[in-house]
Amino acid sequence: MTARYGYGMKDQYKTRKVLIAENDDLRRRILELEQTSADEGNRRSERTRHRSSDSGSSYQALFRYSNDAILLTQPDGTILDANPAACEMFGRTLEEIRSLGRNGLVDRTDPRLHEALSDRARKFAARAEITMLRAGGDKFPAEITSAVFIDQYGQQKTSMIIRDITEKRRAEQDYRTFFRQMADGFVVQEILRDGEGMPRDYRIISVHPAFARMTGLQAEKIIGRTVVEVLPDSEWHWPETLGKVALSGKPAVFEHYQQLLDKYFVVTVFQPLPDQIACIFTDITDRKRAEEELHNHSTYNRSLIEANLDPLVTIDPSGKITDVNSATEQVTGYHRQEMIGTDFSDYFTEPEKARQVYQQVFKEGMVRDYPLEILHMDGRITLVLYNATVYHDGSGRIRGVFASARDVTGRKKAEEEKAKLEAVNRQLRKSASLGRMAGAIAHHFNNKLHVVMGHLELARVNLARGDMCSNNLNVAMTAADEAAEMSKMMLTYLGRVPGDQTLLDLAAICRTGLTVLQESMPKNVFLETDLQSVGPVVLANAKQLRQIFTNLVTNAWESAEENRALVIRLATRTVPVDAIPLAHRFPIAWQPEAGTYACLEVLDNGCGISETDLQELFAPFFSTKFTGRGLGLSMVLGLVQARSGVVTVESSLGRGSAFRVFLPVAAEGGAERAGDTTSAMAGRPAGKILLVDDDEIIVDITSMMLVRLGFTVLSAGDGIEAVEMYRQHRPGICLVLSDVYMPKMNGWETLSALRRIDPDIPVILISGYSEEQVMEGDHPDLPQAFLGKPYSFEVLKDAIRRALQDTSGYESYRGLLEQTGT
């Protein structure tokens, strides 16, 4: 059998520890009162006098204005002092109280008085209820707290705090009367005590008829018997519970389940008389059954709610939260009790939008997949889709809204990441496609252009000076040169950029470039600069760095709008890698390296760039001005990409743009790029060159140019044929010119095969691709020079001179190569 019980009336009793503490406090107060009444002349200092006086005044006020009666006494009962509350309580003056002493204020027939005095003598403190006497002999119950202390003179004294509990006793009597008049069943028992006066059992002396009906225990069968006899062994707690009430006099109320009867009771136990115990039984079985059913149902529902991983919330018609589950606590950071009673909309990034959702539910009955952003107390945001519906009470009235939120943050992020990756992949595929196309066009274009330019040069040389055709050829040659430059720019876009690299001061390059640009800058363009006095230093090519700067500034001033001044702001600085913006990076797949970066920043307040145009901004020939505008920004991207850098763009239509170029800051003592290696050449006969190319037109024009220079030409259509021809004509060949990209055996394989035959044979590699692209990768053998198609007579002569200048046979044709004309 299980039961729980508690006392039905407020406990007016305190522990011995509390009594001792109160006693110590009272002793301290009394001592300080006595100190304040002592002679001020005995104080050690004026400062101590003032402090003691103030303290004494405080305790005098406490003594004077206390609602409880306070008596200062001696152990023999002599009263030394009494406060105004004591005079009022006993209806006597201070002089009367002093003259009567303690024995004149207490009912000496009350046996509890002797017990209290004995207790105080043993423990130096006591707490008890005794009967006191007012003026005229009226008795009243009182609660006293008494303590023994030693004053500053070593004299033993006592204190008494007295509280009138007449009203308390009256309330208890009313309480008992109320229970006697109740219709609930009750039983009265006589307390049976042992030799020491302790309760040992309880004899049933009276049974209310309702008790018999409730419990099934008939009066005639249990009156005269003890509780231990009537109740089974499993009801062992009954004597213990009744004993507590018998000893303390305090009522107890508890709930009890009677297993034999399968019923629940509220049991109230109290003492109607000193030697009796009464128990009142109230049958609460129906209520307990309903509570258990409700509890089980609530527990079941709550377990379902808490097991749900989605944040759940109920909202009343005013928009206040009435309940939440633990998932809601986690997503908001607030505890359930903190949220209940607050406005539902308070926990979202857009409160008005959140307010609209529950208003819509009350209006339409439900909502589906309503997007909101829950704001965590620490600032985190969770993206959710709310599904909500109204719920009703038993009468069909709408009680509120039940709302469930599905966390879609991960899904949203995944979708965004997927979209970003798809965009990156599209850009990469597009860039790769453009790269292949630009490279292929440049290669084939350069091959054909080489033929055109070679024939133009030969024709120009063969014509007499002043011939009208000579002028036409010069114009055609100029156009061909420009076409060749355009081809180089397309290769630059691919990041295939030749050129020596040196340590360069970025700010100094910008200052030099500004001097040139300002001469051609429109009048409505104004420059503001914030260039560092020194640095940052990067490893780059000076010409290419000036191209980057010039193209960015030119692009900025072309964004100027009519009738509006354009301001361009230029700045250089050094930044950590994590300061590089993440958005709109070009090339899109660029990955930073550890370290610091030099930043060239070009800002303008021009027309700005749309989000759509940003994706196409660096594509060859893209322009918002008109189709085929040029390759300026494409060149910037290629040059930056070739130096392991990145370009970032921020822009807003109508407000302007910010272009930032980031290049790795060079380490001190950066090494120069390794140049071509030229071996010491053994003397060989002059004048015979082996030309290797799979394009007959290229072979024809190049052969003409070589013959014009005074050389004999042997030609081969691929690398295999070239190796075999070299074996046959080895003694007479002084130099090999080989195309790089050929079928069967490419230029690099041909070079290695020739070097295995003759390690000292000079070789020049030729290609329509850039030197940077051709030289990419590791190669066991390197050429003496590289020629990029198209090339002129002078460039060809210079390459041959560099390839042969260390050979002993060089003197035999030096005159031809050092001529100023051809």
Whether residue 245 has pLDDT greater than 80: yes
Q: Which residue has the higher pLDDT, 294 or 572?
A: 572
CA distances from 811 to 715, 781, 806, 816, 818 (A): 24, 26, 10, 10, 11
Whether residue 737 has pLDDT greater than 80: yes
Of 164, 185, 220, which residue constitutes the final position of a domain? 164
Number of compact structural domains in the chain: 6
Q: Quick one: average pLDDT of 436-447?
A: 67
Residue 350, pLDDT score: 92
Residue 678, pLDDT score: 33
Q: Quick one: average pLDDT of 705-729?
A: 88
Residue 255, pLDDT score: 86
Residues 426 and 550 in one domain: no
Residues 178 and 148 in one domain: no
Of 115, 144, 164, which residue constitutes the final position of a domain? 164
Whether residue 24 has pLDDT greater than 80: no
Which of the four pLDDT bands, split at 50, 70 and 90, describes residue 441? low
Per-residue pLDDT tens for 593-604?
878 999 999 998
Q: Is 613 exposed, middle or buried (0-12, 13-18, 19+ CB in 10 A)?
A: middle
Residue 173, pLDDT score: 80
Residue 519, pLDDT score: 74
496 neighbors 642 (Cβ within 8 angstroms): yes
Q: Quick one: average pLDDT of 667-691?
A: 49
Per-residue pLDDT tens for 521-544?
788 888 888 888 887 999 888 888
Residues 525 and 596 in one domain: yes
Residue 11, pLDDT score: 40
pLDDT, mean over the chain: 79
* Of 749, 783, 785, 786, nearest in space to 771 by CA: 786
Residues 630 and 771 in one domain: no
Of 377, 407, 437, which residue constitutes the final position of a domain? 407
Q: Is 45 exposed, middle or buried (0-12, 13-18, 19+ CB in 10 A)?
A: exposed
Q: From CA 321, how far away is CA 348, in angstroms rounded? A: 14
Q: Quick one: average pLDDT of 56-76?
A: 80
Q: Quick one: average pLDDT of 626-636?
A: 59
Residues in the chain: 822
Whether residue 259 has pLDDT greater than 60: yes
Highest mean pLDDT among 12-21, 23-32, 313-322: 313-322
Peptide bond just before 272 cis, omega within 30 deg: no
Residue 765, pLDDT score: 94
- Asked whether residue 204 is domain-assigned, the answer is yes
CA distances from 510 to 20, 514, 816 (A): 88, 6, 43
Domain that holds residue 709: 688-817
Residue 258, pLDDT score: 76
Residues 159 and 240 in one domain: no
Whether residue 574 has pLDDT greater than 60: yes
Per-residue pLDDT tens for 794-810?
889 889 988 888 766 56
Residues 810 and 729 in one domain: yes
User: Model pTM greater than 0.85?
Assistant: no
Whether residue 1 has pLDDT greater than 50: no
Counting residues of the chain whose pLDDT is more than 90, the rounded percentage is: 18
**What is the amino acid identity at position 662?**
F
Q: Determine which of 252-261, 320-329, 676-685 has the lowest per-residue pLDDT on average.
A: 676-685
Which of the four pLDDT bands, split at 50, 70 and 90, describes residue 771? confident
Residues 443 and 531 in one domain: no
Residues 382 and 340 in one domain: yes
Residues 522 and 477 in one domain: no
Residues 644 and 517 in one domain: yes
Distance in Å from the first CA to the final CA of the chain: 124
Residue 621, pLDDT score: 62
Per-residue pLDDT tens for 450-492?
777 777 777 777 775 556 566 666 667 676 666 666 666 666 6
Pairing of strands 763-767, 785-788: parallel
- The residue with tokens 């006595």 is 34
Vertex 548: Cα angle to 546 and 550 (nearest 5):
65
Q: Quick one: average pLDDT of 137-165?
A: 89
Token pair for 632: 């300026």
Counting residues of the chain whose pLDDT is more than 70, the rounded percentage is: 76
